[in-house]
Amino acid sequence: MKQFSVFIFFCFNVIVTYAQLSNPSFETVSDTLNIQPMFWDVNLEQGYSVKVTSEEHNTGAKSLRISGKESLRGRQSIMQNTVINANQLKQILLSCYVKTKDVSGSVQLFCQVRDSKNRIISIRTSQMQDAGLSGTNDWKQLTLKFLADTNAKKITVGAYLIGNGTVWLDDYSVQELPEAGVKPSKELTKFSQEITNLIKKRAIYADSLNWQAVDQGIAYLTTSGLTMKESPLILDFLISRLRLAGDKHSNYKTKTSAQNYATAKNVVQQPQGKLLKGDIGYINIPGFGSINDTASVNFATRIQDIISEIDTKNDIKGWVVDMRKNGGGNMAPMIAGLGPLIGEGTVGYFVYPDSKASAKNEWTYYNGRFDVGGRKQVAAKRSYTLRKQDTKVAVLIGPNTGSSGEMATLSLIGKPSTKLFGEPSAGYMTTNQSIKLSTGAYLYLATGYAADRNGKNYLLNIQPDVKVAAGEDKQTDKVLDAAVTWLKN
């Protein structure tokens, strides 16, 4: 992977006073990397190419082309950071002209809004408004609405191609939308009350919100001419208020996104395992983005089978569980699959704070099955028991270990002969309650946090037992080396 970044504080073609994009039509290329667009950041992913080209353009003489190889299931993005200055809550429209050829996945715009502490307080993608392009299309304008107020100090805007095919991008713009000042929509008002009531009653960060500012924001949005189809902006606003209060984890899905998440059987990444030198078993657990029963069972079973194959064919001296690229999703198949290394019995808890007491929801693993509060979550088709129950386990974590990846990691903590190596995890340790809304959308609201098998609460993130910085040298893996050294001693 190569990173092409340009840090030049020169802007031209100013779109609005709110935010200024440099080189929005990709007419200017880098002096040193003359196929890369100046002022845009490109983290080049394997199997993709990104270059400025004159073969297609909406206006001007050039556009930016992103291409992915056939059958590729990855993602390639381009992005630009810029300062934004809003004196009150406003709707902002991000737009870009897009042309596609044989896109198997989709092309989507995205925007991140950050505050003065560089915290992400809002993330918007085309998928969140059930938009995007796939297949073959002539030039079309893709748009994405997002919100900004006095808390917004910087935005990251861009686009990404999921899967294979070719996309051309041209003529980015960011512009403030005028205030409509219409009569409050009864439907939007009712929907807003539904969400605010849920947050007040259930969110662990409810008491930290500035409810006066929340009410003012809701009043603005319900009189701004939004339609019910645009109701996710209401959700986005309320989630941003939770972010400002310290909630990193609450989020939402539109009705379409929630349906796709529930039914998706194809998982982009699968767990992988291998034997390392010195008879060390290694298994990599990626995030798992589905709640489909079949996909969950297959994922858990694959992990069990990998562990079984490595353990039965070798005299294993120790295990490495690599969680460094596990950004989360559904923790149940991860834990059910890792059961042979986690051990049977109580492996963790969800904790729900209360004014009088803290209720605990127990996680248990037995014979390939993972339960929460006595309710079955996932059971692998085949379960395995290690030949050596006391074998040491090294768990690798880092800043990309997040959400359910952190929960799965938590299930390994507290077991004898287990140590964590690497860097602190991402810090999405709250438990999110899944709440279906009247629109069919889902609110995933942080209502509690997690504890390990010994009852230790984790409110922020997971700290490694042995801190090892990953380093910039891609040819070596210092974290893995430290873990293997411990396992061999």
| Percentage of residues of the chain with pLDDT beyond 70 | 92
pLDDT, one tens digit per residue, over 164-191 is 999 999 999 999 988 877 888 888 999 9
> What is the tens place of the pLDDT at every residue in 312-365?
999 999 999 999 999 988 999 999 999 999 999 999 999 987 644 456 789 999
How would you class 100 by CB atoms within 10 Å of its CB: exposed for 0-12, middle for 13-18, buried for 19 or more?
buried
Q: Are residues 201 and 279 in the same domain?
A: no
Same domain, residue pair 337 and 400 = yes
pLDDT digits (tens, 9 = 90+) for 252-261: 888 888 787 7
Q: Model confidence over 87-100: pLDDT tens digits?
A: 889 999 999 999 99
pTM of the model: 0.79
Look up the CATH number of the domain holding residue 353.
3.90.226.10
Domain identity same for 228 and 277: no
Range of the domain at 217: 186-247
Task: Clarify whether residues 463 and 419 are in a common domain.
Answer: yes
Q: Are residues 334 and 483 in the same domain?
A: yes
Check whether residue 326 and residue 359 sit in a common domain.
yes
Residues 47, 161: one domain? yes
The count of structural domains within the chain is 3
Instruction: Note whether residue 411 is domain-resident.
Output: yes
Q: Is residue 255 part of a domain?
A: no
CATH number for the domain spanning 33: value is 2.60.120.260
15 and 99 share a domain? yes
Residues 289 and 319 in one domain: yes
